[in-house]
Amino acid sequence: MLSRRYELLEPLGRGGMGVVYQARDRELERIVAVKVLPAQMLRDEDFRARFRREARAAAGLSHPNIATVYDIGEDIADGDPVPYLVMELVEGGTLADLLRQAPPTPNEAGQIVAAVLEALEHSHEREVVHRDIKPANIMVHRAGGRVRVKVMDFGIAKLMSETATRLTATGMRIGTPSYMSPEQADGKPADARSDLYSTGCVLYEMLTGRPPFTGDSPTAVLFQHLHKTPQPPSQLNPALAPSWDQVLATALAKDPQQRHRDAAAMRQAIETGSAAPTIQAPAPAPPSAFAPAARLEAPLPTEPAPTEPAPHASALHASHSPGLGERSAPASATQYHVVAAPPRVLTRRRVLTGLGVAGLAAALPAAYYAFTREGTATLLGQPLAGHNGVAHSVAFSPDGKILATGSSDATVRLWDVATRALLGRPLTGHHDGVDSVAFSPDGKILATGSSDETVRLWDVATRTPIGRPLTGHTDWVLSVAFSPDGKILATGSRDDTVRLWQL
């Protein structure tokens, strides 16, 4: 028992930074995962400091593709401190297990790595570098024709804004050799582009069945990361389209400046097969991890589609369900490995419009625009700042006086439109990001849908919850809408269903 609250039930796994247990939260009556330092490390202040670093970095992240941190604390056992981290218990197994048992198809590999890159977009925006992306730190759950991905263990993450400490001093290698960037292997500082290199190594292994470099010892592998060129993946897997070589040529560039500009650019290159800009324009020809240099502008060629997906394959890459997640694509796009996806719905990750509204990140959680007949937009005042996560959804009250915003920080905020002032405290109660918000026609009730698979109703005047959460969906609730008379609520979910609720 930790802190008289967390009852440890059974060990789930061990790693370099801790032991993970399945545990019961006796206060909230739920099953969680608790990570504690190994006993032999409890007296080592260096490891304890790294553990506290993990807790601080991970607690600041809130994204559907990142394991949620519920609590951090420290207990005493036999006179020694026992720091611990309480996280959500994630279903499924690690990608390392999946690679051994039922390797993903190229389509599914693209979907998995795109989800990892979404998680890295979120962490990098908050200046958190993972530094140890590898299959063992990626959880994959195949269920109901979908693949859900969670990135685990920001245990050696480094806050880029911090000055160097002896934990991350030059010359100290932190990471896993098979997936370590050349700069990490050389003992140099790592940044977001190091994560992209490691993600490229993971993608390479999913496509070929082995990491880009192997050897008899960690030193031999590190030497290759620094000095050798990996084989193009299509040479190891003749059935693989050569276009994957083009994506990985950029991801695995030795020079960080010649990799994809950021996680979003790498994800775009995978999704669309188009050229993705690097940090600085290459000249005269694009530098490549492979020789000769590969062109990036060619789309991903056709991959023969089986009549029925293999038993282990997700329906996400079946002919009727192309693209990543729940995105749809034109029929002509399904011929590629990972199809080009249309813009995401407004409730996901960033609010997009064809008129150039920028993505609303943590420091810019909401903004609203007045549109003229000519189709231009004028920003009104300063951005509304207050959320500690991505603004997933926004909605005006029927009279236009109140703006509701839902965020990945699991809260909803109400704003006075005229003064742009926050109205009271945030609405709390969801256990995951709020993906959708909607006012009733009379403006008295606010409905919110969440990645915690529930819908909640709130009294707008008092900002208090109405009744219990509406349960029944088995995946993220991405949309909510009231009928014109306000008597029925419709909810849409990633579980492929729409539900109607009599209010």
End-to-end Cα, the chain, rounded Å: 42
Active-site annotation holds for 399: no
User: Cβ(383)–Cβ(357) under 8 Å?
Assistant: no
- What is d(CA 273, CA 296) in angstroms, rounded to the nearest whole number? 7
User: Cβ(279)–Cβ(258) under 8 Å?
Assistant: yes
Question: If DSSP codes are grouped into helix, strand and coil, which group holds residue 336?
Answer: strand
Q: What is the identity of the amino acid at 435? A: D
Geometric angle at alpha carbon 479, from 435 and 326, rounded to 5°: 85
Burial class (CB in 10 A: 0-12, 13-18, 19+), 186: middle
- What is d(CA 313, CA 302) in angstroms, rounded to the nearest whole number? 18
Neighbours of 459 (CB within 10 A): 12
Who contacts 419 (Cβ-Cβ below 8 Å, separation ≥6)?
none
User: Cβ(263)–Cβ(196) under 8 Å?
Assistant: yes
Side-chain half-sphere exposure of 163, counting CA atoms within 13 A: 0
C-alpha distances (whole Å) from 322 to each of 140, 271, 300, 309, 314 are: 19, 11, 14, 12, 11
Q: Is 35 among the annotated ligand-binding positions?
A: yes
User: Cβ(385)–Cβ(364) under 8 Å?
Assistant: yes
Packing angle of the helix pair 243-251, 192-208 (nearest 10 deg): 150
DSSP 218-277: HHHHHHHHHH--PPPHHHH-TTS-THHHHHHHHHT-SSGGGSBSSHHHHHHHHHH-----
Selected catalytic residue, list 132, 195, 245, 432: 132
Q: What is the identity of the amino acid at 452? A: D
Q: Before 292, cis peptide (omega within 30)? A: yes
- For 472, the enclosing helix (H) or strand (E) is none
Instruction: List residues forming the annotated binding site.
Output: 35
The set of catalytic residues is 132
Known binding residues for ATP: 35
